Structure 1
Amino acid sequence: MAFPVVPTPVSGAAPRRPPESAALSETDLALVEALQVAPRAPWTRIAAAVGVDATTAARHWNWLTGHGLAWMTAYASLPGMPVAYIDVACRPERLLAVSARLGASPHVFSIERTAGPHQLLLYVITRDLAGMDAFVTGFLGRLDGISAVRVSLQARTYREGSGWLLHALDSDQRRTLGPRDGPAPQRAPALGDADTRLLRALGEDGRRAYADLARECAMSETTVRRRLARLLHHPEVHFRCDVAQRAAGWPVIATYRLDVPADLLESTGLALAAFRETRLCVAVTGAANLMFSAWIRSTAECQALETRIRRRFPHLRVAERELTLHTIKRMGRLLDAAGRAVGHVPLRAPRPADRR
């Protein structure tokens, strides 16, 4: 399985490096959340919510993206395409080489290096179950250094990263932006080739100008505007404004594998998804049927979070717990040791031809 995709810098050039101790200002945090709520809103609307003028808002965003501290992406989660969370055990001397090889794969959309019996946690999408089997037995099976693999297939999503907010805006500011999600069409049309081209371009920069998108996708600007307006409300399309978590004040990722009685799985998943810290909450296959990942302020908060979960949900059992040492890749963005975006690998589910 060959991967010709070469990671490229997010903005066409290596991001300028802010100081290692750089932290985002209150204005920066408010700006990021405004874009989490209204990803394609004009700068005048974003600025009104943040409390600055439109020129200042745009300048702040350019500074954030130029330094790899925040970025906007778009992607589709198509029904029938399986998503797997794959735990990989790797020999220590091969860990960096294996991580780099996995990071270049367009099928692995996120990678975390973790403290636990498995050193890597992969988030993988394929076209079907046969493709997932081929990825595990073919691609992973050929990587030198891997000693064990455990696959958990996603069964139901209660929350993923595009649903997480920084909580930097107050209620009045959020009202200025309007509702977070527009009305979804009653019958969403299937995504076509033109939509795929548009999403591929938006994957690198979800706020690209209409004229730029029109040139790259070989469409008229009017067509781009019409299709993009539909994609913004399409239930299978996600626009996601991400941030360097350390600079944003959320440096720790805690992931739990939970065993929940089947008849309480739905209610538990929905309730956990509503936690402020929750970045990911999904029902999965395996002995532990619920996977829950949270961004927290410090490692000391892990016990408090777990205690709150156990008290709220006495019926569940914590089967596993682990902390992320380093996020190598998040939804196609390659990250440095400080969590800043330094490259982009476009997402792609394997084609049948990739399974050889």
Structure 2
Amino acid sequence: MHALDDADLDLVAALQLAPRAPLNVVADVLGTSASTISRRMQRLREERLMRVISTVHWPLFLSGNPYVVWIRCEPGKVGEVAAAVRGVPEAQSILVTTGDADIHCTIYPLAGTDQRKLLTKTLPGIPGVASVQSHLVLRIARRAVSWRIDRLTDEQADVLGAYASPADADVGALTDAEFQTLRLLFDDGRVSAAEVARSLDVSRSTAHRLLQSLLDRGAARPRVEIEPAVLGHPITALLTFDVRPRHIPAALAALGAHRSGRLTVMTAGPASIIHHGVFRDEDDLATFVTDDVGKLDGVSGFTMCVALGVLRRQWIDRDHDVLLGQRRHEILGRQHRQTGH
């Protein structure tokens, strides 16, 4: 088990709130030195446990809203099917699950993707696939970038909050230089102006303006990529809810505000709402179901399964569920650039 000590956990909590905060600020907040913070970050990167990346504003690289997809496999074929799904560039996350379906994935239609072909031919045509069910995301109440561990005091959070990225996006169209900078931020949420200047062969002041423009407008939202299991939340539960229409907004808001949430969406499919949550243990999950779900009005039924294995999140493949690998697909190719809203 890849256990982190208290100082590691404090560092992760600080970076989850302010991924681009200067090292000296993080050090002051945590009562240590910038050199110590730097060494810890480097060790976590080298051990493949943590990386700072960025979430990109959807309209900049997608041709439509994502789909939540459940794949049922023929007996004994889960491994082969999962390996094939890893070869699909649109598969942003891939989990092996319990329940009626064997594989859960989120499909992001990149610019140029033939959505109908992908959902009705490509995925169902994978050898070993028995059936595919897809739910179009209509509205999102919670994203993984918002999930954090609770270790900071209010005073610490206030200091770091000054360095947090804006949650709202007002992007508009990107210039070529901005899009090239966005690609750098996508892979390294802490990329510096000096690194951007070298990569794009521009002045440092120009690089600084490019970075700030993207960050201030919400084109890129830096985030810590680390498996919740490493942070003491080894159970990933996937819940689907049947909710009467007039109760959907309140249920969506309540689930989206819950501390467990990594993805909470309203969908067009058999389920009105899908909620992905992470939990400390089985009792923590049970309490969520009986206490929090039990309070929701308008729920006529729900299903629940848990992840048996994590193969990919944020297009980053996993080894042994928790070790961060590489992005095997070019997600932000120049041809994917879209005009923002």
User: Is TM more than 0.5 here?
Assistant: yes
Percent sequence identity is: 25
Query: Structure 1 183/314 Cα, relative in aligned 2: closer, same or farther at 3 Å?
Result: closer
CA distances 1:286-334 after superposition (whole Å, capped 9, x unpaired): 1211011111011233221111233321321342110000110010211
Which of the numbers 56, 63, 74 marks the counterpart of 2:43? Answer: 63
User: Displacement of 1:184 after TM fit?
Assistant: 7.0
Can you give the 5+ residue segments of structure 1 that lack an aligned partner in the other structure?
1-20
Q: Which runs of 4+ in 1 moved over 6 A?
A: 349-352
2:304 pairs with one of 321, 337, 341: 321
Equivalent in 237, 245, 262 of residue 262 of structure 1: 245
Q: Select which of 306, 322, 325 maps to 2:289.
A: 306
RMSD: 2.4
Q: Which amino acid aligns with 1:71?
A: R
Change (3 A) 1:196 1:106: farther
- Whether the 8 Å contact between 1:332 and 1:347 is mirrored in structure 2 is no
Instruction: Specify which of 173, 178, 181 is matched with residue 156 of structure 2.
Output: 173
- Secondary structure, aligned partner of 1:343: coil
Residue 49 in 1 paired to residue 43 in 2? no
Deviation at 1:36, TM superposition (A): 1.4
**Pairwise mapping of residues 169-318 of structure 1 onto structure 2 (< 5 A)?**
169-179=152-162, 181-182=164-165, 187-318=170-301
Cα 1:331/1:184, change in 2 over 3 Å: closer
Whole-angstrom CA distance in 2 between matches of 1:291 and 1:110: 15
1:146 matched to which residue of 2? 129
How far, CA to CA, are the matches of 2:166 and 2:105 in structure 1?
A: 33
Conserved in 1, the CA contact under 8 Å of 2:190 and 2:222? Answer: no
* 1:191 CA displacement: 3.2
Aligned residue number for residue 17 of structure 2: 37
Matches of 1:330 and 1:130 in 2, distance apart? 20
Matches within 5 A, 1:10-159: 21-79=1-59, 81-127=64-110, 131-159=114-142
- Write the distance in 2 (CA, Å) between the matches of 1:314 and 1:214: 53
Compute the displacement of 1:70 (Å). Answer: 1.1
Structure 1 contact 68–244 (Cα < 8 Å) conserved: no
Which deviates further from its counterpart, 54-63 or 225-234?
A: 225-234
Task: Decide whether the 8 Å contact of 1:126 with 1:132 is kept in 2.
Answer: yes
Which TM-score applies when normalising by structure 2? 0.89
Aligned residues: 332
Contact 1:203 1:346 in 2 (8 A): no
Task: Measure the CA separation in 2 of the matches of 1:143 and 1:218.
Answer: 44
Matched to 1:271, the amino acid is A
Structure 2: distance between partners of 1:254 and 1:261:
22
On the 8 A contact 2:267/2:273 being kept in 1, the answer is yes
Q: Residue 198 of structure 1: CA displacement?
A: 2.1
How far does residue 82 in structure 1 lie from its aligned partner after superposition? 1.6
